Amino acid sequence: MAQQQSNEEGTALIHMHKPEWRCSMISASFNFINSIIGSGIIGLPYALNQAGLPFGLLLLMLVGFITDYSIVLLIKGGNLSGSNSYQSLVQNTFGFPGFLILSALQFLYPFIAMISYNITTGDTLTKVFQRIPGVGPDHILAERHFVILLSTFLFTLPLSLYRNIERLGKVSFLSMVLTLTILIIVMIRAATLGPQIVPTENAWAFAKWNSIQAVGVMSFGYTTFTGYTQGDIFENYCRNDNLATFGRFCFGLSIITTFPLECFVTREVLSNVICSRPLSKAEHVSITLLIVAVCTALSLAYDCLGVVLELNGALSATPLIFIIPSACYLKLCPGHWFHGEKLIPIMLIIIGLFVMITGLILIGVFPQDCSHGVEMFYCADANVSGTVPPE
C-alpha cells in the first residue's frame, strides 16, 4: 500500500510539473536554434564573396563537418577526463591556464558578436527611419550613434538584464520568425533585382585569394550582388526599395532579440572566472551594465561590419572549433601521436593555426572596404530600386 501511494504521488508530481517542463524545453529549443542561426546568416553572402561562390560553398560544408567532428572530440574528451562541460574539460586537461584561455575566447566570441549586432542595428534601422515622411539624412533618427544608443536603452539592455534565460524563449521565437521572413525577402529580390545588376569581374570564379578570411565568417544574397556584396547584405539594397525596407526592419528586430543571448553567455563566462557562485542581484546588474556599456562604446567608435566578422572568426571561432577540442583529445587519448585516430585532430590543429594566423595577418594588411551608409551606384536606376519611379 505504501509503495502504491508513493508511485501515485510520484505520478501526480510528474503530471503537475509536466506543463512547466514542456514550456522549459520549448523555450530552450527556441533559444538554442536562435543562438545557432541567429542573424549571422546575413553575413554568409559576404563570406561567399570573400572565398568565391563555388569554393565558398565547399568551405561552408567543410566547416560544418569540422564543427560536427569537433563536438564528437569534445564528447570523447569529456568521457576520458570525466568532464561534463567545455570549461571543465580544458581545465582538467591543461590546468588553470588552459581554463583562462578558453574563458577569454568564450567571452570574446559572443562579445564581438554583440558589437557586430550593434553596428548592424545602426546601419539597418537608420535606413528604415529615413523612409518615414519628414525624416531626412540630417534627422537625428538617421544618425547611427543615436539609433544604437536608443535601441540599447529601450530594448537590448532591459532584455539583457534577465537572469533566467528561459524568459528569452518567446523573444527567440520572434527572432526565428523574423529570420525566415528575411530569407523570403532576399530570395524574392534575388529573382527580381539580381538580373538588373551587372555581375562583377570574376563573379563566378571558383576561388579567391582571401578565402582564408571566409573560413572564420561562415545563397541567395551573393548571387544578387556578386562582387558588390557587403558585410551586411542589406547595405546593398537601395534606400527607396520598400520590400528591402521591410526586410531591414525585420533584420533590426531580429538583431535586437538575439543580442541578449550573447550577453547572457558573456556574463556567464565572467561570473565563472570571477567567482564560482551565483551572482547577487547587484553583481548581476553591475556586470551586465559593464558588458553592454563597453560593447556599445566600441560599436559607436567603429562601424565596418565585415572586418568585425572576420576578426571574430579568426580570433575566437577558429581556436574554439579547430584547435582546442583537438588539443584536448590528443593529450587525453593514450597511444602515439601518429596513431590512426589522432591524425585528423592533428590536421585540424595545423589547419586551425594556419587559418587563425593567416586570417589575422590579412585583416591587418588587407582590410576590407566598408561602404557604410553609401548608396550603391546601381540605385541610380529607378527600376533597380524595386519601386515605381515618380511621374
Dihedral over Cα of 312, 318, 323, 326: its sign: positive
> Environment class of residue 291 by beta-carbon count within 10 Å: exposed (0-12), middle (13-18) or buried (19+)?
buried
Domain ranges of the chain: 58-380
Residue 5: per-residue pLDDT: 41
Dihedral over Cα of 101, 105, 111, 115: its sign: positive
What are 384's three cell numbers?
533597380
Q: Which of 208, 228, 244, 372 is nearest to 305 (CA)?
A: 372
Q: Which of 70, 328, 34 is nearest to 174 (CA)?
A: 34
pLDDT (tens, 9 = 90+) of the chain, 391 residues, equals: 433 444 433 443 334 344 554 556 676 666 666 666 655 666 677 677 777 777 777 877 888 888 889 889 999 998 988 888 888 999 999 999 999 999 999 999 889 989 988 988 888 898 899 888 888 888 899 898 999 999 999 999 999 998 877 777 777 788 888 888 888 888 888 778 777 776 666 665 666 656 655 555 554 474 445 566 666 677 777 778 888 889 889 888 888 888 888 898 899 898 888 877 778 889 899 999 999 999 999 999 887 777 787 788 888 888 988 899 999 999 988 877 667 778 889 999 998 898 889 888 887 777 666 655 667 767 776 455 554 444 4
pLDDT in tens, 218-266: 544 744 455 666 666 777 777 788 888 898 898 888 888 888 888 988 9
Residue 248: per-residue pLDDT: 87
> Environment class of residue 51 by beta-carbon count within 10 Å: exposed (0-12), middle (13-18) or buried (19+)?
buried
Question: Residue 101 CB: number of other CB atoms within 10 A?
Answer: 14
Q: Which of 37, 41, 190, 52 is nearest to 120 (CA)?
A: 41
Please report, for residues 28, 152, 315, the alpha-carbon distance to residue 159 in angstroms, rounded to integers and kept in the order given: 16, 10, 28
pTM (predicted TM-score): 0.79
What are 222's three cell numbers?
551573393
CB 300 within 8 A of CB 153: no
Residue 302: per-residue pLDDT: 82
What are 317's three cell numbers?
571561432
Sorted by sequence, the CB contacts under 8 Å of residue 170 that are 6+ apart come out as 27, 30
